[in-house]
Amino acid sequence: MIWLLASGVLLWALALGGLQPAHVFLGLGLLFVAYWLSPLYGGISKKHAAVMRRPADERRFVIYWAPADIFSTRLRGGLGRHRKHAIWINVWQDKEAEAHARALGGGVLPVVVLDGETIVNPDPRELIDRFR
């Protein structure tokens, strides 16, 4: 959130001094980084407790992830159309999910629970192969 505030202040200051095209690109870049680093990236995620209350067949593919984590980003992009099959839980938005993911993955993200099996920082192709 600090990045978002700092980006806004910088853009405001640059606008007062005469906005140049380079300033616009700098400001937009900073806003993108601020959003990517914020807990809001990826939208509001489901809560761990709510997901665990679901029947087992409805939670067979759960991914614990964090914004700005390069491996989580790689997994989100690498799964492509298959990512819609997963329940994505943002550990920055849910402290219970963060504790659970830390217990499962030893602090490494992303943590995938697929049909009861825990996989830490998987290769997206490995998960896609399981859907075939």
H or E stretch covering 28: helix 21-37
Integer-rounded Cα Rg, in Å, for the chain is 18
* pTM attached to this predicted model: 0.74
- Note the pLDDT tens digit of each residue in 42-79: 778 899 999 999 999 999 999 999 988 999 989 988 99
Query: Do residues 91 and 64 touch, judged by C-beta distance below 8 A?
Result: yes
Question: What are residue 31's DSSP bridge partners?
Answer: none
